[in-house]
């Protein structure tokens, strides 16, 4: 990944939720979440229902800005906004491209908002609309995958149809897998579908012999934050990349957290193990090799970086175009984006207060 001692390719976040960039400061849930299910129900599934196309746009711009500020030029995004599905992926792509950030996005298909949801029922209208958004975006030339939220919120028909769409469109599927107790068993329904170009996010509760093909993306901080357990990523035969699960796109910070958690698990481990995950990210988004980041630190080496915080990009070039010079953006008005994102966040929070 290194070009020179103080230069790398653009960093890649292998699992992000740009829609959550406005979440900081959101209204507290009515009660303290006590489980993974509570965290989803009381926090994230309320936030995503409150999103409209305007808040999606500013959330994506803020997320893209914060990615660039940490030297991340490529984002693999997973999106969900059940009350603003149609057109959402194009808005995210355009918002990122406006800042020069490369993005691969998808709509996380789900049946979960149906009152009588069960896995053996017919595909719901919600899932059909999500599927169509993936299809529309890909057919129009958008860079993406087919998204599935997770097996435990999808009917069998939805999983079958989504997997077939990915085959038809010649892309992989980007899906949460065995993140927490709610998905401890349901992920097995993906075994018959998963292929090498799939992105399998989390894998915390996967057994060693899970037989799922694809790249596993490890999200150490998110897993700790949700109390779902340690994925022990070194046990997998699959390639393993590194994501943030929507908590920014600071990949050097995620690397440090991932390393600290790995050492807690096995004190004989090396920073190179987690650094290799960033190399896997590079293979997931190879265009990052056309981007150059010059850093404020002289030794972009895992043994240095594991113990050095506060490193920032000084110069960024994306596809040969200078984006940042001497620590300053050239054409991006970061204050304007932050102000507009702040207004959008107020609107989003008011909408969340109206939702039951």
Q: What is the rounded CA–CA span in Å between residue 38 and residue 22?
A: 20
In the DSSP assignment, the letter for residue 241 is: E
CB closer to Zn ion, 246 vs 302: 246
CB closer to Zn ion, 39 vs 337: 39
CB closer to Zn ion, 143 vs 245: 245
CB of residue 202 to Zn ion, shortest distance in Å: 7
CB of residue 15 to Zn ion, shortest distance in Å: 6
The length of the chain, given as a count of residues = 356
Binding positions for Zn ion, 61-120, rule CB under 5 A: none
Binding positions for Zn ion, 208-247, rule CB under 5 A: 245
What is the largest distance, in Å, between two alpha-carbon atoms of the chain?
A: 57
CB closer to Zn ion, 147 vs 302: 147
CB of residue 244 to Zn ion, shortest distance in Å: 9
CB of residue 201 to Zn ion, shortest distance in Å: 5
Number of helices and strands in the chain (H, E)? 11, 15
Q: In what order do the strands lie in the sheet with 72-77?
A: 11-16, 72-77, 102-104
Give the angle subtended at the CA of 170 by the CAs of 199 and 319, to the nearest 5°. Answer: 75
How many CB atoms are located within 10 Å of the residue 34 CB? Answer: 10
DSSP assignments along 300-338, one per residue:
--HHHHTT-----EEEEEETTEEEEETTEESS--HHHHH
Q: What is the rounded CA–CA span in Å between residue 67 and residue 29?
A: 27
Q: What is the rounded CA–CA span in Å between residue 239 and residue 232?
A: 13
CB closer to Zn ion, 174 vs 292: 174
CB of residue 23 to Zn ion, shortest distance in Å: 13
CB closer to Zn ion, 112 vs 292: 112
Binding positions for Zn ion, 151-190, rule CB under 5 A: none
CB closer to Zn ion, 37 vs 327: 37
CB of residue 38 to Zn ion, shortest distance in Å: 17
Q: What is the rounded CA–CA span in Å between residue 157 and residue 104?
A: 25
**Residue nearest to Zn ion according to CB distances in the complex:** 245
Asked if 254 touches Zn ion (CB under 5 A), the answer is: no
CB of residue 336 to Zn ion, shortest distance in Å: 29
Count the site residues for Zn ion by CB under 5 A. Answer: 1
Interface with Zn ion (CB under 5 A): 245
């Amino acid at each position: 990944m290194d070009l020179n001692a103080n230069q790398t390719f653009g960093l890649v976040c292998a699992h992000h939720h740009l829609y959550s960039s406005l979440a900081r400061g959101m209204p507290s849930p009515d009660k303290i979440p006590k489980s993974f299910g509570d965290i989803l129900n009381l926090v994230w599934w309320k936030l995503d229902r409150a999103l409209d196309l305007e808040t999606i746009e500013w959330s994506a711009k803020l997320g893209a800005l914060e990615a660039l500020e940490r030297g991340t030029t490529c984002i693999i995004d997973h999106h969900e906004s059940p009350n603003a599905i149609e057109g959402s992926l194009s808005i995210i792509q355009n918002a990122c491209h406006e800042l020069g950030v490369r993005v691969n996005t998808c709509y996380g298909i789900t049946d979960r908002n149906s009152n009588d949801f069960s896995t053996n029922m017919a595909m719901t209208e919600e899932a059909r609309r999500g599927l169509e958004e993936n299809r529309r975006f890909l057919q129009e030339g958008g860079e993406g995958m087919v998204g599935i939220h997770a097996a435990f919120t999808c009917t069998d028909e939805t999983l079958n149809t989504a997997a077939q769409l990915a085959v038809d469109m010649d892309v992989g599927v980007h899906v949460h897998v065995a993140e927490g107790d709610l998905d401890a068993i349901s992920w097995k329904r993906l075994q018959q579908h998963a292929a090498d170009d799939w992105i399998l996010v989390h894998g915390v509760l996967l057994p060693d012999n899970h037989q799922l093909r694809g790249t596993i993306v490890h999200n150490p901080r998110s897993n700790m934050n949700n109390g779902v357990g340690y994925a022990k990523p070194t046990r997998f035969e699959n390639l393993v990349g590194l994501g943030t699960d929507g908590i920014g796109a600071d990949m050097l910070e995620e690397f440090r957290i991932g390393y600290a958690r790995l050492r807690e698990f096995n004190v004989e481990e090396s920073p190179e193990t987690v650094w290799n995950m960033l190399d896997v990210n590079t293979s997931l988004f190879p265009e990052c090799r056309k981007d150059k980041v010059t850093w404020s630190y002289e030794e972009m080496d895992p043994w240095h970086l594991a113990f050095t915080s506060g490193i920032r990009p000084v110069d960024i070039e994306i596809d040969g175009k200078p984006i940042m010079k001497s620590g300053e953006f050239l054409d991006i008005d970061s204050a304007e984006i932050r102000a507009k994102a702040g207004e959008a966040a107020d609107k989003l929070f008011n909408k969340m207060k109206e939702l039951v």
